Amino acid sequence: MLILMKSEATKEDILRVCQKIETMGFRAHEIPGAQRTAIGITGNQGKIDPETFATMSGVEQAIPVTKPYKLAGRDARKENSEVSVGGEIIGGRELAIIAGPCSVESWDQLITTARAVKDAGAKFLRGGAFKPRTSPYTFQGMKEEGLVLLREARAETGLKIVTEVKDVLTLSAVSQVADVIQVGARNMSNFSLLEAVGELRTPVLLKRGISATIEELLMAAEYILAKGNLSVILCERGIRTFEPATRNTLDLSAIPVVKKLSHLPIMVDPSHGVGMWEGVTAMSLAAVAAGADGIMVEVHPNPSEALSDGYQSLKPERFKDLLEKVRRVAEVVDRSVGAEVA
């Protein structure tokens, strides 16, 4: 922490700030300047709240210089974390490919999609059973019935299941089926839910909130890590900006930033990020080129009949073409995609 004093601060103001620092058990370092004095604080282990000083007489600004997260940061772990999902590794050399429908709608729809994405090379099946929807009047998912179908799809295909948890009340049901529990963008700051998934040992796919900074995403991960669940996978899915042409603005530069700040794997969901299927292929390749640890893509056998998000879903044959290109881009950045099923 650096305390910047006002140019008109008195000697007493400066003394009082130094005393407060010492009272807190830290050391104060006065740096007199031409225009104003700055005071450095050392000896603190974690973050000090800037507000502690901001209201004191003569103080212009209190500037934090330490990151607020610990377990999620590179300082805690230099090498990249790898998350094991029943033997499949996310965050290693091989890219994680998650695909499937936005919502589970029926056995036919689910198993058709599951077989298709497995054939194309995906190892994870996504499908929402509990759907957080902006309107109370739209389809909210098949709920428990959807979970049953996901379990059966896994039994039949061997694909790992990625499905979203909507709230603490249904977490138990979801965690009995999910190989990876998805925490959606709207729940990224639902701290009670983060703590609850932190108590489990099931891997968590944590999506970035629609207006969350990267630091806030890492702080949300910190909530889960601090409870002992170290299997956290981050996911960029687009942020809200002024641009109306896309549903959100996919922030791919979050990938190099996260790689610099944190050891956690980061995936990209281009379907929600772009919101139109024409852009999903382009942005999937871009995500892999930018260093993402995997992609999560919406695939639907018949997009125009989908109960949700049809406009941004790929048909199975387009998804297959996409993965062939992903495989080639992956090689350029020293990554791979698991073998296509013959």
| Interface with its own copies in residues 215-244 (CB under 8 A) | 215-216, 219, 222-223, 226, 239-244
> Interface with its own copies by CB under 8 A: which range of 81-89, 119-127, 175-183, 188-196?
188-196
Choice between 4 and 111, CB closer to its own copies: 4
Contact letters for its own copies, residues 286-305 (x by CB under 8 A): xxxxxx-----------xx-
| Tokens linked to 246 | 């896309």
User: Do β-strands 59-63 and 2-5 pair in parallel, antiparallel, or remain unpaired?
Assistant: antiparallel
Choice between 38 and 111, CB closer to its own copies: 38
With 0-12 / 13-18 / 19 or more C-beta atoms within 10 angstroms meaning exposed / middle / buried, residue 78 is exposed
> Interface with its own copies by CB under 8 A: which range of 92-100, 117-125, 151-159, 326-334?
326-334
Choice between 159 and 188, CB closer to its own copies: 188
Counting residues that bind its own copies (by CB under 8 A) gives 108
**Residues 309, 314, 320, 335: which binds its own copies (CB under 8 A)?**
309
Number of residues that this document lists for the chain:
342
CB of 175 to its own copies, least distance (A): 16
Choice between 152 and 310, CB closer to its own copies: 310
Choice between 84 and 169, CB closer to its own copies: 169
**Residues 23, 25, 87, 260: which binds its own copies (CB under 8 A)?**
260
Would you list the DSSP string of 44-104?
-SSPPPTHHHHTSTTEEEEE--S-S-STTBTTT-SSPP-EEETTEEESSSBPEEEEE-SB-
What is the spatial distance between Cα 298 and Cα 270, in angstroms, rounded to a whole number? 9
55 near its own copies (CB under 8 A): yes
CB of 276 to its own copies, least distance (A): 8
Q: Which long-range contacts (CB under 8 A, 24 or more apart) does 166-175 make?
A: 166/130, 166/131, 166/132, 167/130, 167/193, 168/192, 168/193, 168/196, 170/130, 170/143, 171/196, 171/197, 171/200, 173/144, 173/147, 174/129, 174/130, 174/147, 175/200, 175/202
What is the spatial distance between Cα 51 and Cα 56, in angstroms, rounded to a whole number? 9
Choice between 81 and 187, CB closer to its own copies: 187
What is the spatial distance between Cα 39 and Cα 58, in angstroms, rounded to a whole number? 12
Contact letters for its own copies, residues 85-124 (x by CB under 8 A): ----------------------------------------
**Residues 10, 19, 144, 191: which binds its own copies (CB under 8 A)?**
191
